[in-house]
Amino acid sequence: MSWYRRECALGRLSLVGTTVRQAEMSTPLLADEHHPTIDGAKTYIATTVAVGCCLGAEPAESAGTDDLKAAYGVFKDEARDLAPKYVPKTVNTDGWQGTQAAWKALFPRVVILLCFLHAWLKIRDRAKHLKETFTEVSRRVWEAYHAPDRRCFAQRLRSLCQWAKGHRKGVVLETVLELVWQASELFAGVPSPRRPPHQQ
């Protein structure tokens, strides 16, 4: 009976309230779903992290917008218990439409960013068999990622696109072009060259 009471009591704590010690909440967040299987059935755990700290982990019935909204809504409620007017500025996601729609429904003014790592992983999955070409694609993609500002980022993506058109065709070229086409979703996280980062 003692273990049962402990298990039930464990789920009552606010994850945000126990991990954040001050009312100053992080405004850039990362949100993603973990897809474990329980007794052979796929489940979804909506996770929210910031500054190396897990702020939310709530199960969702499915990966649909409504279920994810309910799961991420637990984070919203817990964050607002700590800071009543809390609104994140950005949420970095993997590009899943359900995740993005859930966050937009919870925080309408939040800026949704596309996770650069997930964009690169898509390229890796299609190009790793190409050995040296994959190494060069990776170098160019990460070189663009480390650009100091938007202008340089855009230039490096254009250079990557031109290089890919000249050296590759098929699925690898399509994935590189998709990364370039999604640049507006990636740009939101890169500082503008004309304004300091604190004025973004």
Each residue's pLDDT expressed in tens, for the chain with a length of 200 residues = 555 555 555 555 565 655 565 657 778 899 999 988 888 888 899 999 988 888 889 999 899 999 999 999 999 999 888 888 989 988 988 878 899 999 999 999 998 888 778 777 887 887 777 777 778 888 888 888 888 888 888 888 888 888 888 766 677 777 777 777 776 666 555 544 444 444 44
Phi-psi region of 199 (alpha: psi -120 to 50; beta: other; left: phi over 0): alpha
3-state secondary structure of 14: coil
Q: Do 89 and 67 meet the contact criterion of CB atoms below 8 Å apart?
A: no
Q: Which amino acid is at 200?
A: Q
Q: Domain coordinates of the chain in residue numbers?
A: 10-114, 116-187
* 55-66: b (≥16 Cβ within 10 Å) or e: bbebebeebebe
The tokens describing 93, both together, are 């996601």
pTM of the prediction?
A: 0.71
Q: What kind of fold does domain 10-114 have according to CATH?
A: Nucleotidyltransferase; domain 5 (3.30.420)
